[in-house]
Structure 1
Amino acid sequence: MSMMTRIEQALSQPFMVADSATAPPRLMAAMRHAVFPGGARIRPQLCIAVAKACGEDAPDLTNAAAASIELLHCASLVHDDMPCFDDADTRRGQTTVHKQFGEPLALLTGDALIVLAYQTLARAGARHPHRLARLLMTVCEGTGTPDGIVAGQAWECEPRVQLGRYQRAKTGALFVASTCAGAQAAGTDPEPWRRLGDALGEAYQVADDIRDVMGADQLGKPVGQDAQHGRPSTAADLGLLGAVDYFRKLIQSAVQSVPACASREAMQQLVLHESERLLPQSACDQIAVQHAASQRRAVA
């Protein structure tokens, strides 16, 4: 079974339980709309890859951890797209939940996906009670306060914020949860895997900042949102060329941080593949050419 097939099956399982005859049909439809079809599914990919690298012995628990993290990510996107934040029309190439189903149902959809995530983890964790508590804490830390994705979103409501803190919370937190949860699902120490999640998560946010400026978005959502909403941005702080250099350093850090294991090379290739998908070399070359032309005009 391929990695992506495994992930899609793991995500479908919670809906088979939740979608009963007593559930509100439009709510269930909105929840499915938010989750399927998905994006790159990099967070569950990381979770499963780390579990395998750690000698996975409880695939049902790994699947539940991976699915719960992706459900939480999807919930955050539903809320992030709403009028009170980005007021986005599209996400992943399709209409956003609040545009398709209305704002009240979008709010409830995000809430329901959060609950479904924890139900999924608790259901599988009941068969592995000695691992459940630490797994739950890891996922909670990646989601809530003081440094989870909710805190990351909340920093946008503050008058001032340190860029690194904002990025680590808004994007990096769930990446750290993904790598650490993968190790915990396999019954091993998560700490050696924390740096990988931290570096890759920050790289994702930096790439998103760059694409937001370039208008080269690949996720099916609007661009130019950071400037419009006055959000912190690496591209605004460092300039596009500086942001690209920083992105490359983060990717290199992520590659080097993969702990020694039988699948170390394969995991490093996964990071490099994601790097090219996030910010293709052609885009980096285009930024360098534009910067050089700008420098020549300034001198002239």
Structure 2
Amino acid sequence: MTSDHGQGALMDMMTRIQAALDHELTLACSPSAPPRLMAAMRHAVFPGGARIRPQLCLAVAGACGEDAPALTNAAAMAIELLHCASLVHDDMPCFDDADTRRGQPAVHKVYGEPLALLTGDALIVMAYQILARAGSLHPERLAGLIETVCIGTGAPDGIVAGQAWECENRVELGQYQRAKTGALFVASTCAGAQAAGADPQAWRPLGECLGEAYQVADDIRDVLMQADELGKPAGQDAQHGRPSAASKLGLVGAIDHFHGLMQAAIDSVPACQSRSAMRQLVLHESRRLIPQSTCDRIELQRTADHPAVRLAA
């Protein structure tokens, strides 16, 4: 697969995702709905980030011979809306008290805390409503999809549990990362397979590797990057005393760990017609998350701090 084809496939998926999200939010906006709630929900979802979770869901469904595009869309939209809801709640004063998200003011900064709380709740309900509506045409797949999404979202090991670990006195880094970030990535890959009527277990390792890699990358970026680059406040892990791969392994160790996880993700893609395209998607994300320029900056810092390393080289 050429790089141009890979970029084209990514753009096609992003267009599909944005159109589906816009459709669902427009559908929910009725004359009887509170206007500020509707506006806050749209603010939480758009313009959006990389949309990697719904991209993964669509890509896996395609690799499994997608035969129910509406169900695939519903699974992908549900996962993205749940992710957006978690960000709204995560940014609130009771957690991170963040002023910005995705380069714009956080929902609670624009609409106030009560409406931000309700916005997250409304997005969660909308996610399951979308699944239920599309799943009525494929009832044999719906129960498995709902279970997968619930496992990735709730307790004991979903993103809600990941957020709750931040309220505990002690937490093991790997357990925290698997819940806070990894669980919804696993849901994305498994739900993509289930939406296409395929066995989700073959795609679970891809979600596990990517989920951990994303959290490691987020830890690195939280240390290295400025708020305007991140689109959200920097230095949050240190400020809130959260577990971090960067603090545990050091930046060089965290970078090495990230690259190992991304390679494991590439290697985990099961045999399928679009295996090359799936690997290209993972490689693209690796370069987007931690560009080579970032690796070079860390290496320069390392050799400056330890001249013996430079002499040995």
What is the aligned counterpart of 1:281 among 289, 292, 298?
292
Equivalent pairs, count:
299
Amino acid at match of 1:150: V
Secondary structure at the aligned position of 1:57 is classed as coil
Return the alpha-carbon distance in structure 1 between the equivalents of residues 293 and 230 of structure 2: 18
Unaligned runs of 5+ in 1: none
Q: Deviations over 1:116-137 (max 9, x none)?
A: 0000111100111010000000
Amino acid at match of 2:298: I
- RMSD of equivalent CA atoms: 1.4
1:291 is the counterpart of 2:278 = no
Amino acid at match of 1:274: E
Return the alpha-carbon distance in structure 1 between the equivalents of residues 53 and 140 of structure 2: 24
Return the alpha-carbon distance in structure 2 between the equivalents of residues 36 and 116 of structure 1: 15
Q: Which residue of 1 aligns with 2:14?
A: 4
Return the alpha-carbon distance in structure 2 between the equivalents of residues 174 and 154 of structure 1: 15
Check conservation: 2:58, 2:72, Cα contact below 8 A: yes
TM score, norm. by length of structure 1: 0.97
Q: Deviations over 1:85-143 (max 9, x none)?
A: 11111111101000010011000000100000000111100111010000000000000
Check conservation: 1:151, 1:170, Cα contact below 8 A: yes
Q: Which residue of 1 aligns with 2:249?
A: 238
1:220 is the counterpart of 2:231 = yes
Q: Which residue of 2 aligns with 1:268?
A: 279
Check conservation: 2:303, 2:309, Cα contact below 8 A: no
- Which 4+ stretches in 1 moved above 4 angstroms? none
Q: After superposition, where does 1:172-191 map in structure 2 within 5 Å? A: 172-191=182-201
Return the alpha-carbon distance in structure 1 between the equivalents of residues 278 and 226 of structure 2: 27
Q: After superposition, where does 1:103-122 map in structure 2 within 5 Å? A: 103-122=113-132
Return the alpha-carbon distance in structure 1 between the equivalents of residues 199 and 226 of structure 2: 39
Secondary structure at the aligned position of 1:83 is classed as coil
Q: Deviations over 1:35-81 (max 9, x none)?
A: 01111100000000000000000000000000000000000000000
Check conservation: 1:39, 1:219, Cα contact below 8 A: no
Q: CA deviation at 1:292?
A: 1.4
What is the aligned counterpart of 1:73 among 60, 66, 83?
83
Q: After superposition, where does 1:51-90 map in structure 2 within 5 Å? A: 51-90=61-100
Q: Which residue of 2 aligns with 1:96?
A: 106
What is the aligned counterpart of 2:150 among 140, 143, 148?
140
Amino acid at match of 2:201: E
Return the alpha-carbon distance in structure 1 between the equivalents of residues 165 and 118 of structure 2: 22
Amino acid at match of 1:111: D
Return the alpha-carbon distance in structure 1 between the equivalents of residues 276 and 88 of structure 2: 35
Secondary structure at the aligned position of 2:199 is classed as coil
Q: CA deviation at 1:297?
A: 8.6
Return the alpha-carbon distance in structure 1 between the equivalents of residues 20 and 212 of structure 2: 26
Q: Which residue of 2 aligns with 1:49?
A: 59
Check conservation: 1:69, 1:117, Cα contact below 8 A: yes
1:158 is the counterpart of 2:168 = yes
Instruction: Percent identity, please.
Output: 75
Q: CA deviation at 1:216?
A: 4.7
Amino acid at match of 2:214: Y
Return the alpha-carbon distance in structure 2 between the equivalents of residues 192 and 17 of structure 1: 35
Q: 1:123 to 1:246 in 2, by over 3 A?
A: same
Check conservation: 2:79, 2:127, Cα contact below 8 A: yes
Q: CA deviation at 1:289?
A: 1.2
Check conservation: 2:206, 2:268, Cα contact below 8 A: yes
Return the alpha-carbon distance in structure 2 between the equivalents of residues 114 and 291 of structure 1: 44
Amino acid at match of 1:210: I
Amino acid at match of 1:127: L
Return the alpha-carbon distance in structure 1 between the equivalents of residues 297 and 15 of structure 2: 35
Secondary structure at the aligned position of 1:159 is classed as coil
Return the alpha-carbon distance in structure 2 between the equivalents of residues 214 and 5 of structure 1: 31
Q: CA deviation at 1:13?
A: 2.3
TM score, norm. by length of structure 2: 0.93
Amino acid at match of 2:288: R
Q: Which residue of 2 aligns with 1:200?
A: 210
Return the alpha-carbon distance in structure 1 between the equivalents of residues 268 and 38 of structure 2: 40
Q: CA deviation at 1:271?
A: 0.4
Unaligned runs of 5+ in 2: 1-10
Amino acid at match of 2:168: E
